[in-house]
Amino acid sequence: MTYLLVRKMKSHKNLYDKISSLSNLIIAYKKARKGKTKKDYVKDFEKNLAYNLKILHDELKNQTYTPRQLKTFILRDPKTRKISKSIFRDRIVHHALCNILEPIFDKTFIYDSCANRKSKGTLFALNIFEKFQKKSTDNFSKKVTERFFLG
């Protein structure tokens, strides 16, 4: 008999208020600037930090926020890729969204899924691959051995 595991979906309320809250925007700003403190666009934003965050908060709260056009450029490192980059204030909004939504959705992802997930980088992916490779090789070896000895 096969049992179907059904997960009851949890309802989340007031997510927009959490995403657009000033405290979340401050946390998001800190994440967006990490490793970029010497960039001119970060320095420019920080010149009027309180004002810029307040404007962003008001735009989100009043639902008048619109992301700016992406800056597109070609990167040749080592292969040629087309890169599209958001301006700094849009990256803050991106982090604000992720701060609230990631904990909700991460629970529903398959454990072995590694792409863009915290604590699941390249080393984790390699270890999972080796685990599956060994399991696959063991299964194949057993089948070959059984066929060889059992005829």
**pLDDT per position in the chain (151 positions), as tens?**
455 555 566 778 889 999 999 999 999 999 999 999 999 999 999 999 999 999 999 999 999 999 999 999 999 988 999 999 999 999 999 999 999 998 888 777 777 777 777 777 788 888 888 888 888 776 666 555 454 445 4
Q: Which of 150, 15, 28, 33 lies closest to 99, judged by CA?
A: 28
List phi, psi (to 5°) of 91.
-70, -30
Of 25, 43, 23, give the one whose Cα is nearest residue 90. 25
Domain ranges of the chain: 13-108, 111-151
**Cα–Cα distance list, 3 to 10, 107, 108, 111 (Å):** 21, 21, 19, 21
